[in-house]
Amino acid sequence: MNKKLFLYDTTLRDGAQYKGISFSLQDKLKITKLLDDFGMDYIEGGWPGSNPKDEAYFKHAQYLGLKHSKLVAFGATRKPNTATGKDPQLASLLNAQTPVVALVSKFWQYHVKTVLRTETSENLKMIYDSVDFFKSRGREVILDAEHFFDGFKDNSDYSFQCLKAAIKAGVDNVTLCDTNGGTMPDEIATIVAQVKSKYPQLSLGIHCHNDCELAVANSLASVNAGVTLLQGTVNGYGERCGNANLISLLGSLLLKPSFNQNFSLNPKIQASQLTTLSQKVANVANMPLKNDAAYVGNHAFSHKGGIHVAAIAKASQTYEHIDPALVGNQRDISISELSGKSNVLLQAEKLGLDVSQNFSQVLSSIKSLEQNGLTLENAEGSFEMLVRKHEEGFAPLFTVENIQITVTNLKRSSELDTELCTASVKLSVKNKTTHMVEEATGPVDALNRALKKALSNFFPQVEQMLLTDYKVSILDPENASAATTRVWLQSGYGDERWATIGCSDNILKASTQALIDSYQLFLIKFQNNGMTSASDTDSQHINLDTNNSHQEVQNNGNL
Amino acid sequence: MNKKLFLYDTTLRDGAQYKGISFSLQDKLKITKLLDDFGMDYIEGGWPGSNPKDEAYFKHAQYLGLKHSKLVAFGATRKPNTATGKDPQLASLLNAQTPVVALVSKFWQYHVKTVLRTETSENLKMIYDSVDFFKSRGREVILDAEHFFDGFKDNSDYSFQCLKAAIKAGVDNVTLCDTNGGTMPDEIATIVAQVKSKYPQLSLGIHCHNDCELAVANSLASVNAGVTLLQGTVNGYGERCGNANLISLLGSLLLKPSFNQNFSLNPKIQASQLTTLSQKVANVANMPLKNDAAYVGNHAFSHKGGIHVAAIAKASQTYEHIDPALVGNQRDISISELSGKSNVLLQAEKLGLDVSQNFSQVLSSIKSLEQNGLTLENAEGSFEMLVRKHEEGFAPLFTVENIQITVTNLKRSSELDTELCTASVKLSVKNKTTHMVEEATGPVDALNRALKKALSNFFPQVEQMLLTDYKVSILDPENASAATTRVWLQSGYGDERWATIGCSDNILKASTQALIDSYQLFLIKFQNNGMTSASDTDSQHINLDTNNSHQEVQNNGNL
């Protein structure tokens, strides 16, 4: 029978120490629900003695009605030379009313002496008394053995004395912490095995940090050596370089034969939910999910090299270690100069485009664009426009006659400046010309407004298109103000998103390229899919556009 | 004696497969120099047979005069049923003229049959013939055994046959590739040990991918099992979730007793250079370095207040696994008011500035700027200007009256456009006004030219100041074209460099802020240090500036 492993999530406590994360009370409650729905065995909610937000959290969390998870309040062993009954920190832990209490305790002599500044013998009593305090009050007690591995290497006798004190007081689990994240996997395995052979009945946990990019490996090594409770955080959030990433750990524990043939988890936990959990927690934390995150990242199953893409088409396991659907993720083929025919064909097929007639022209256009810095790999919108422009009989829905931008009163200082950007756009649509002007604080925003104003006379649906994301990179920064700029733009309509790109040594021109491709594509999509209510006014509007209204447009343009 | 390990960098080949990276030829040559200076043993520069950029790279790389690294051209074994002499891919590998050739070859039966679509016996001949082809032409040959671990688990007999063919042809090293990144550390260790015991004389390498967040751990496990050549990339760039991160690997190999007591590296390689190498390559790749990167990230030694900060003050090893200076990184104590103060004092002292008189004003200015997105931490030039502006009696050497920028004929298409940016700058210097206009392809360049032209009438030395680097980041990309933009600018004079920063929802205003701070600072530095030949004309020039010449300046400005 497989050995049962338990998962212990500390996203809300250790994860909250990640620089950039600041959970509100509502955030913490939301994440608690997500973790419970996922089936996490333990959720460490915070340290009620350390701040009012965590105290409030435990008051609210009682009413969440958790179905799968046990809530844990985190704290420390009692103060030196203080009775447990007189330690306010222990009292607030008790008040948190959780079924489980986690107590951090010092296991490194050096730490006891230099930081705690007490006797090593008093520290043993602190461990015994604190565990006993909560056990005698009916709590499940997990003891976090801080600096366990550093302490063990320094003086393993003392480590064993600490463990003995905890066991004597009836501790339920001792979690060995690599607090500084500096221990190597082979050391972890050896030391865990030594502890396990000394106390085979003791339930052991592991708590790793990622300071050597080894937190996941160290956790897995400890499982092989006898640990059964795994602490970590969703997406690896945590102090400094983070904690062990539970998402990556779970991917391997659930899907890799080395583990799923020997160990089992709470059956509620499904690998197929990993991508969703990772993304939802990232959203609440307001931290963008890393594209290269193992198993769940946007790029975890992306293929850029031509031969890889060709092979994937023949047999996916040649360049995918698992089927992306197993973790709720999906394959992503990107276009780039490294790619050959297969990437382009696959991407075109995904977009429902037929490139069989003019494939070589499309490919050579892509190669020449990419040599000029215009990488299409994250810009499927520009890719689609490029393919469409090569289609027989393609005619753009509008062409740009002229664009002019003026920025005035652009002084260095203060917020009182009244600098203003003005953009004028002259377009022609089916032999009619429109000339519009708009203003805004920044030149790109002014340009976008003017474009939209000019187009909306012919295509009122453009009012419903939004720009949802905008990025700028400098390709040759050493050329400073004369450098080539790449602009990446994401647009949206309802739930649909598409990205376009522009590249020039003039940032406004690069932005113009990306904007125009985006509007062109939106209008094509609109025509083809009959988007929304505005569809019936589409072609009519152009025909009905009288000389008068056209005149008015031009007048507006001269304001 | 310690066993010697060799480092093999594939940032330029496998790293270039990372989604978002697109190296120009210049980028590739720059990174080659950085890797050589660092002391990397092997640099894999690209695949000359696959695209024109990589072919050009090897032509140029011959003239770099590498001191510490051997350059490697990457390619594949010959085509099935084709003589080596008639395979154009092998010919272009030979033409790359590198001392070392790396050949990827199939080691997984399944892959040979489904993708290569040839006989397993023909694949053995392909290995033998291709290795022999380059060995007989005097090259060092590294054979990349693709899918080695998947193949070995499927049919280890066939893996051994492939190895035998390579050995028979005189291969120098066989690098075992976990191509899909799906193998667990214990499997890697077991399989490497089996290979090592079968062929104890064969030099083995390892090539890992990070699809399970285990690439670094797998590489270290293989070192313990007998591998002596480590492939990886700077910052872990690479296809999908990336390759083994050489920076993290080196941190542990150089600084952890489990490794540095048993293994040695090329003595040119210094742990203290890791942060610099990581940052410089990230800059060229235009990929922001991850804050939580092991050893070298900005947050790798950051402490978010509370008991950790207090403990660090007593004994740093309580929450730091190594001294950050060992890898060229530094501690970062971010949150507390107290640490804010010491940071500012430290930075001011470093620049030779006295902030004792107006410390609280300086600190509150910094806090308010940073709340508006203007982080000064990489912009010591802007920090210096901020401190100087608070000094008693500070008067800027020039003030800006007005700046105006016009961009005309900004059409979407073609390289034939004649769009042009015009910037006019009105400055006042000691009660005199100058008004100058300049043009360029891009607006920031036009602005810089006009500023320089206006200033050079009073301060001819500005002609010698260069802009050496320019970066743009979007702080709130979801606001699209109305987003807040941060511009970071580096300027130079001789060997000196200083960085300034600007932040606004108008990219041109942000650029203006950074440019003006940079010119102001240059002029102050010039005054104080008496830079170069122009020093004697400095203050004189302003005084000698007659009404006439001033008039002329104004006329120029009206052109």
Q: Quick one: pLDDT band at residue B155, thresholds 50, 70, 90?
A: very high
Chain B residues near residue A503 by CB distance under 8 angstroms: none
Q: Compute the nearest-CA separation of A491 from chain B (Å).
A: 9
| B401 vs B132 pLDDT, higher one | B132
Dmax over CA atoms of chain B, in Å, equals 92
**Alpha-carbon separation of residue A421 from A257, A410, A439, B357 (angstroms):** 61, 9, 5, 40
The residue among A364, A503, A506, A517 with the most chain B CBs within 10 A of its CB, best to mutate, is: A506
Residue type, B34: L
Cα dihedral sign for B108, B109, B113, B118? positive
Please tell me the distance from the alpha carbon of residue B403 to that of residue A409, in angstroms, as a whole number: 5
B246 vs B281: CA distance, rounded Å: 12
By C-alpha distance, the chain A residue nearest B332 is A240
The partner residues of B176 in beta bridges, in order of sequence, read B145, B206
Which residue among B114, B185, B239 sits closest to A221, beta carbon to beta carbon? B185
CA triplet A381, A383, A385: central angle to 5 degrees? 70
Element holding A489 (H helix, E strand): strand A485-493
* Continuous segment of H or E residues that includes residue A453: helix A443-456
Indicate the number of domains in chain A.
2
In angstroms, the CA B202 to CA B407 distance is 65
The DSSP symbol for A59 reads: H
Could you tell me the pLDDT band of residue B539, with boundaries at 50, 70 and 90? very low
C-alpha to C-alpha distance for A250 and A274, rounded to whole angstroms: 8
Q: How many residues does chain B have?
A: 559
Q: In terms of C-beta density within 10 A (0-12 exposed, 13-18 middle, 19 or more buried), how is residue A316 classed?
A: middle
> How, if at all, do strands B466-474 and B485-493 pair?
antiparallel
Residue of B23, B176, B129, B45 whose CA lies nearest to A475: B23
A467: phi then psi, degrees, rounded to nearest 5: -90, 125
Distance from the B261 Cα atom to the nearest Cα atom in chain A, whole angstroms: 13
Q: What is the average per-residue pLDDT within A292-307?
A: 85
Cβ-Cβ contacts under 8 Å between A and B: the total is: 391
Which residue is listed with tokens 């382009």?
A: A344
CB contact under 8 A, B19 and A470: no
Q: Do B212 and A216 touch (CB under 8 A)?
A: yes
Q: Residue B57 above 90 pLDDT?
A: yes
Q: Which two tokens stand for residue B276?
A: 């610099």
Cα(A458)–Cα(A484) distance, rounded to whole angstroms? 34
CATH of the domain at A89: 3.20.20.70
Residue A204 Cα, gap to closest chain B Cα (Å): 21
| B260 and B403 housed in the same domain | no
The reply to whether residue B448 touches residue A252, judged by beta carbons under 8 angstroms, is no
Separation of alpha carbons B194 and B110, rounded Å: 21
Of A297, A515, A516, which is closest to B241 when you measure between CB atoms? A297
Please report whether residue A247 resides in a domain.
yes
Residues 6+ apart with CB under 8 A from B37: B67, B68
| Residue B335 DSSP symbol | S
Cβ–Cβ < 8 Å for B196, B225: yes
Q: Token pair 């939580």 is at which residue?
A: B292
Q: DSSP 3-state assignment of B118? A: coil
Q: Is the confidence at residue B370, as pLDDT, over 90? A: no
**Assigned domain for A141 exists:** yes
Q: Which two tokens stand for residue A321?
A: 């270690």
Closest by CA to B160, choosing from B145, B173, B172, B170, is: B145
Helix pair A306-314, A341-350: axis angle to 10 deg: 60
Cβ neighbors of A290 (< 8 A, separation 6 or more) are A235, A297, B290
Contact B412 A512 (CB under 8 A): yes
- B171 confidence band (pLDDT: 50, 70, 90): very high
A 10 A CB-CB count for B347 gives: 18
Once rounded to an integer, what is the mean pLDDT over residues A344-354? Answer: 82
Yes or no, beta carbons of A478 and B468 under 8 Å apart: yes
Contact by Cβ (8 Å): B28, B45: yes
Q: Helices (DSSP H) in A336-442: which residue ranges?
A: 341-350, 359-371, 380-389
Burial of B85 (0-12, 13-18, 19+ CB in 10 A): exposed
Backbone angles phi, psi at A502, to 5 degrees: -145, 155
Q: In the prediction, which pLDDT does B475 show?
A: 67
Range of the domain at B475: 399-409+418-557
Report pTM: 0.71
Query: What residues in B contact A336, CB-CB < 8 Å?
Result: 22
Strand residues in A77-180 grouped as ranges (E): 100-106, 140-146, 173-178
- Contact (Cβ atoms closer than 8 angstroms) between residue A336 and residue B51: no
Q: How many CB atoms lie within 10 A of CB B314?
A: 12
Is the residue at B86 inside a domain? Answer: yes
pLDDT tens digits, residue range B503-515?
888 888 888 889 9
Question: Rounded to an integer, what distance in angstroms lies between the CA atom of residue A135 and that of residue A138?
Answer: 5
In a domain, A505, yes or no: yes
Are residues B87 and B216 both part of a single domain? yes
Residue B554 confidence (pLDDT): 28
**In angstroms, what CA-CA distances link B29 with A143, A475, B75?**
53, 15, 19
- Cβ neighbours of A213 in B, within 8 Å: 216-217, 245, 248, 294
CA gap A434, A446 in Å, rounded = 17
User: Per-residue pLDDT for B548 more than 60?
Assistant: no
Q: Is the pLDDT of residue B557 over 70?
A: no
B444 CA to centre of own chain = 24
CA torsion, ordered A159, B251, A291, A265, to nearest 10 deg: -30
- For the residues of B388-417, what is the DSSP string, one character each? HHTSTT---S-EEEEEEEEEE---SS-TT-
Integer Cα distance of A472 and A185 in angstroms: 41
The interaxial angle of helices A359-371 and A341-350, nearest 10 deg, is 110
Which of the four pLDDT bands, split at 50, 70 and 90, describes residue B318? confident
Q: Cα angle at B78 between B74 and B81, to 5 degrees?
A: 170
| Contact call for residues A489 and A511 (beta carbons, < 8 A) | yes
Which DSSP letter does residue A65 get?
A: -
Please write the tens of the pLDDT for every residue from B473-531.
Answer: 776 666 666 777 888 888 988 878 888 988 888 888 888 889 999 999 999 887 755 44
Q: Do A410 and B512 touch (CB under 8 A)?
A: yes
Using an 8 Å Cβ cutoff, are A447 and A403 in contact?
yes
Let me know if residue A325 belongs to a domain.
Answer: no
Diameter over CA atoms, chain A:
95
- The answer to whether B482 contacts A321, with C-beta atoms less than 8 Å apart, is no
Q: Among partner residues A210, A321, A377, which is closest to B181 by beta-carbon distance?
A: A321
Residue A210 near residue A241 (C-beta atoms within 8 A): yes
CA distance B283 to B219: 26
Q: What is the pLDDT of residue A53?
A: 82
Could you tell me if B177 and B48 lie in one domain? yes
Domain boundary among B231, B256, B285: B285
- Can you spell out the DSSP letters for B434-501? EEEEEEESSHHHHHHHHHHHHHHTT-GGGGG-EEEEEEEEES-GGGGGG--EEEEEEEEETTEEEEEE
B247 contacts B296 by C-beta, under 8 angstroms: yes
Distance CA B165, CA B62 (A): 31
**Structural tokens at position B253:** 């190999």
Distance CA(B42)–CA(B101), nearest Å, equals 11
Name the token pair of B81: 């049923």
Cβ distance B210 to A292 less than 8 Å, yes or no, reads yes
With respect to residue B216, please indicate whether it lies within any of the assigned structural domains. yes
CA angle B59, B62, B64 (to 5 degrees): 120
What is the domain-level CATH number for residue A446?
A: 3.30.160.270
pLDDT in tens, B6-53: 999 999 999 999 988 888 888 899 999 999 999 999 999 999 988 888
Name which of A449, A425, A452 is nearest A439 in CA terms. Answer: A449
What is the DSSP pairing of strand B399-408 with strand B420-429?
antiparallel
Distance CA B245, CA B11 (A): 10
d(CA B476, CA A449): 19
In-domain check, residue B387 = no
> Are the beta carbons of A219 and A259 closer than 8 angstroms?
no
Q: Round to whole Å and give the CA distance between A160 and A198.
A: 9
Asked if A162 and B302 touch (Cβ cutoff 8 Å), the reply is: no
pLDDT at A518 > cutoff 80? yes
Residue B546: pLDDT over 50 = no
A466 has a pLDDT exceeding 50: yes
Q: Is residue B521 part of a domain?
A: yes
- Same domain for A163 and A21? yes
Question: Last residue of some domain: B262, B285, B308?
Answer: B285
Is the domain of B281 the same as that of B404? no
Among candidate residues A242, A269, A296, the one where a domain is terminated: A269
Question: Nearest CB to B19: which of A304, A468, A474?
Answer: A304
CA distances from B243 to A52, A351, B216 (A): 43, 30, 9
Q: Of A410 and A47, which is predicted with more confidence?
A: A47
Asked whether the beta carbons of A232 and A244 are under 8 A apart, the reply is: yes
Q: What's the pLDDT at A559?
A: 26
Nearest CA in chain A to B53: A371
Look at A57-66, A320-329, A428-437, A476-485 and tell me which has the smallest mean pLDDT.
Answer: A476-485
Average pLDDT over residues A363-374: 74
Q: In this structure, what DSSP letter does residue B32 have?
A: H
State yes or no: ipTM above 0.90: no
Of the two residues B524 and A288, the one the predictor is more confident about is B524
Give mean pLDDT, residues B171-194.
98
* Distance of residue B284 Cα from the nearest chain A Cα, in angstroms: 8
Residues of B in contact with A505 (CB under 8 A): 441-442, 445
